[in-house]
Structure 1
Amino acid sequence: MKTIAIANQKGGVGKTTTAINLGTALAAIGQKVVILDLDPQGNASTGLGVPKAERTCTSYDVLLGDDRLSSAVIQTSVPGLSIVPSDVELSGAELNLADDQRRSYRLKMALADYRQELEANDDQCDYVLIDCPPSLNVLTVNSLAASDAVLVPLQCEFFALEGLTQLMRTVDLVRDHLNPNLTIQGVVLTMYDSRNNLSGEVAADVREFFGDKVYQTMIPRNVRVSEAPSMGKPVLLYDLHCPGSKAYLSLAKEVVQQERADTSKNENEPA
């Protein structure tokens, strides 16, 4: 089970859109995926068609230890894709966990229990994708402390690199103090507009800085991607043949290929 935090401290860069549609695309190519909605706005839950009335057990309950993560998992309309929903109560997590000395590890412990339950039931989950809030708070820290890697959606606009620098500092701090094994899974360029010179310049700058950590797939600006959440659907269900759907399928294939290459590399390294 690979746990990936989808994070960027800058808002509006496509974190939730990437969580929903990458999760859907991974499921479409045969992976079993759980999206963990850790944003109090609950947009990932809404975008996957989970009504607020059905969010009786949420990521808030899991963080506080009131429920096991397995109890909060809801199957979506996409075969192979489940979600742990969120609601506005999650905004109170910082206050409620203030006196807990292990508050930064609550999600890590919940995921460890979930992994044990899956193994005991001879079940599996290939990926857990955590949709992080656009801020550095106890929720984001829990996500990074619990994850194997960080996937960074990066908008192809002027201030993108500034936000990325802040995120890298946060990742370094978490690696130093909470999770020494945390890695950068990759950077995915979002809202790319081939007609806009600035998009090309930002993409070139990011590739120069991060090299092969930047996915070849770029997510284009596409009105169908923007419309899909209002219908409670990922874009692959809303319009399979639009450029956005094709891009997320391509990104999913890159993620899986990267995982297989990393696994093969580790197996071939001398003990």
Structure 2
Amino acid sequence: MQVVSISSLKGGVGKTSVTLGLASAALAAGIPTLVVDLDPHADATTGLGVRPSRQDDIGRMLRNPRRADPASHVAPSGWVATAKQEHSPGRQVLDVAFGSAYTGIYDRPDLRRRDLVRLVKVLSDVTGYALVLIDCPPSLNGLTRMAWMASDRVLLVAEPSLFSVAGTERTMRALDLFREEFAPDLVTAGVVANRVRAGSSEHMYRMAEMRTMFGEQLLEPTIAEQANWQQIQGAAHSIHQWPGESARQAAATFDELLKHFTDSGRRRRQPAQPEAKLAEAGSTSG
């Protein structure tokens, strides 16, 4: 099972849109996928067509991770009911550990170190998926660090703009520090450029800057600005199900980006070692 966090320390760059695009590509390819919506705004949950129910949201599962029983509390995406079966001859699986404002209690910088393994514990009982996508909040507080602790890879999302590029560089430095202290096996999946306008001289300048700064870590293809993306998300539809040439091209882009994760043989590490390490650290730090 491949666990991938989609992260950005700057809001408004389309991080959730990238999560939804990758989930759409996984559904179309017939890859059993779980989306974990860690952002307290729960926009990924809305975009995936999931409505709140009596099941526990991810925040409540984090509160009691040893008793979480995620198999009983994940919800099927609304996309599955309308997915075109010709994309995949088998059973299509796209489930959601849905988000809520409740997760905000963990999105703070002063979490004890042993709390960082809460999501590791929740996911340790998850089976039946080939891919887990974690939509992180745009901060480096507790929720993002929980996600990184539970992940094999972190995908960074950036727009071709000054502040976004600078924020991405800060995120990469933060990842290096986190990897050194907590998760030596954590891999940077790369940087995906989102909302790129080929006709914008500013965007082309920033893209050249990103290629210089990030080199091979800047992934191809880039994601072009999608004029009707808000309409697609508002309708709670998969990009692969939306009509029109621009949606078809965007779907093909996400199909290519998904290969960066599905072509890899890396798997999520077992939680025992980091949990023991953090528990020991937490007992000494109080």
Q: What TM-score, normalized to structure 1?
A: 0.85
Kindly state the Cα deviation for residue 140 of structure 1 after the two structures are TM-superposed.
0.4
Structure 2 unaligned residues grouped into runs of 5+: 81-91, 267-286
Kindly state the Cα deviation for residue 125 of structure 1 after the two structures are TM-superposed.
1.1
Q: Distance in 2 between matches of 1:75 and 1:242?
A: 28
Match of 2:98 in 1: 85
Which AA in structure 1 matches 2:76?
Answer: Q
Match of 1:10 in 2: 10
Q: Distance in 1 between matches of 2:157 and 2:238?
A: 17
Compared with structure 1, are the counterparts of its residues 87 and 254 closer, same or farther at alpha carbon in structure 2 (3 Å cutoff)? closer
**Cα RMSD after superposing both structures:** 2.1
**Which SS does the other structure have where 1:169 is aligned?**
helix
TM-superposition CA deviations, 1:208-258 (whole Å, max 9, x none): 222222221111111211222222223333x24342452343333343256
Aligned counterpart for 1:175 among listed residues 176, 179, 190: 179
Q: Distance in 2 between matches of 1:177 and 1:244?
A: 41
Which AA in structure 1 matches 2:15?
Answer: K
**Paired residues of 2:157 and 2:168 also in contact (CA < 8 A):** no
Kindly state the Cα deviation for residue 151 of structure 1 after the two structures are TM-superposed.
0.6
Match of 2:220 in 1: 216
Q: Distance in 1 between matches of 2:198 and 2:54?
A: 40
Match of 1:251 in 2: 254
Which AA in structure 1 matches 2:106?
Answer: A
In the alignment, is residue 107 of structure 1 matched against residue 108 of structure 2? no
**Paired residues of 1:219 and 1:244 also in contact (CA < 8 A):** no
**Which SS does the other structure have where 1:191 is aligned?**
coil
- Size of the alignment, in residue pairs? 251
Which AA in structure 2 matches 1:82?
Answer: D
Between 1:64-73 and 1:163-172, the stretch displaced more is 64-73
Which AA in structure 2 matches 1:60?
Answer: G
Which AA in structure 2 matches 1:68?
Answer: D
In the alignment, is residue 263 of structure 1 matched against residue 265 of structure 2? yes
Compared with structure 1, are the counterparts of its residues 34 and 196 closer, same or farther at alpha carbon in structure 2 (3 Å cutoff)? same
Which AA in structure 1 matches 2:121?
Answer: M
Structure 1 unaligned residues grouped into runs of 5+: 119-123, 265-271
Kindly state the Cα deviation for residue 7 of structure 1 after the two structures are TM-superposed.
0.2
Compared with structure 1, are the counterparts of its residues 68 and 217 closer, same or farther at alpha carbon in structure 2 (3 Å cutoff)? same
Which structure carries more strand by proportion?
1
Structural mapping, 1:40-79, within 5 Å: 40-52=40-52, 54=53, 56-65=55-64, 66-76=67-77, 77-78=79-80, 79=92
Structural mapping, 1:127-142, within 5 Å: 127-142=131-146
Percent sequence identity over matched residues?
27
Structural mapping, 1:132-171, within 5 Å: 132-171=136-175
Q: Distance in 2 between matches of 1:60 and 1:258?
A: 26
Which AA in structure 2 matches 1:92?
Answer: I
TM-superposition CA deviations, 1:169-226 (whole Å, max 9, x none): 2211210121111111121110101110111111122122222222211111112112
Which AA in structure 2 matches 1:63?
Answer: L
TM-superposition CA deviations, 1:28-83 (whole Å, max 9, x none): 0221111100001010001111123x263111122112522222211112332111
Compared with structure 1, are the counterparts of its residues 125 and 258 closer, same or farther at alpha carbon in structure 2 (3 Å cutoff)? closer
